[in-house]
Structure 1
């Protein structure tokens, strides 16, 4: 699975379990295999056969804020791709971020980690929004 796929799975899988109370069938479908069932649904919603069946758009900020409140360390997921990845229990090493940058077609200098990190955070937020996530405007580019 791609790194961005893992990010989506962690957020949308959590969102499916937390937001699907009005639709128990969706929660039941997401529970056995959240990484394979929950993540593709938002991306398929626009072209899928049942766009109304998945839960309402996943509130990305609410999910991440809730996770951050329970995290043992203070993580600034709203501004830092490193902290966002740590919050999701993903590898946040430079190598992992460079791989994510390749996945998302980063064309800048991968040795300029500060610029790359800013770009990555914006792209991840934009792509989460494009795939069914409710992401505040101030977190998108």
Structure 2
């Protein structure tokens, strides 16, 4: 399993994602018998990440920083891991931890996460 899969699983499989889905589920109709279990809504990436950041209570720039995004989900954001994920996602530039690489990586990760939730 690659680093992107680990990141995706850390978001979509998180307790926070389940909590957000339950909050968004429509309330059950009133009934005399036990209601069916709530139908969970698909994971909302933006709401889940915001909720994760709120629960951790630490400043985070996860919306634009790959390092902060990785830290938010409990991943090692070292240069070695960012290089590995960049290669995994098809980055062809210098794997030097530059702003260019990190910006590209963040955009690529967010795009793939958007595809995964659809």
Q: Greater CA deviation, 123-132 or 66-75?
A: 66-75
Cα offset, 1:56, TM superposition: 3.5
CA deviation map 1:95-138 (0-9, x unaligned): 100000011010111125210110011001100111125xxxxx
Q: Distance in 1 between matches of 2:2 and 2:101?
A: 18
Q: Distance in 2 between matches of 1:91 and 1:7?
A: 10
Of residues 79, 96, 108, the one that matches 2:81 is 96
Q: Greater CA deviation, 106-115 or 91-100?
A: 106-115
| Corresponding residue number in structure 1 for 2:2 | 2
| Corresponding residue number in structure 1 for 2:103 | 118
| Corresponding residue number in structure 2 for 1:106 | 91
Structure 1: unaligned runs, 5 residues or longer: 27-54, 134-141
Q: Distance in 2 between matches of 1:85 and 1:60?
A: 14
Cα offset, 1:73, TM superposition: 2.5
Q: Distance in 1 between matches of 2:49 and 2:95?
A: 27
Instruction: Answer yes or no: is the 8 Å Cα contact 2:89–2:108 preserved in 1.
Output: yes
Aligned partner of residue 87 in structure 2, secondary structure:
helix
TM-score by length of 1: 0.66
Q: Distance in 2 between matches of 1:125 and 1:78?
A: 9
User: Over the residues paired in the alignment, what is the CA RMSD in angstroms?
Assistant: 2.3
Q: Distance in 2 between matches of 1:117 and 1:82?
A: 8
Instruction: Answer yes or no: is the 8 Å Cα contact 2:61–2:69 preserved in 1.
Output: yes
| Change in CA separation of 1:80 and 1:5 when aligned onto 2, cut-off 3 Å | same
Aligned partner of residue 81 in structure 2, secondary structure:
helix
Tell me the number of residue pairs that the alignment of Structure 1 and Structure 2 aligns.
Answer: 105
Q: Distance in 2 between matches of 1:72 and 1:93?
A: 22
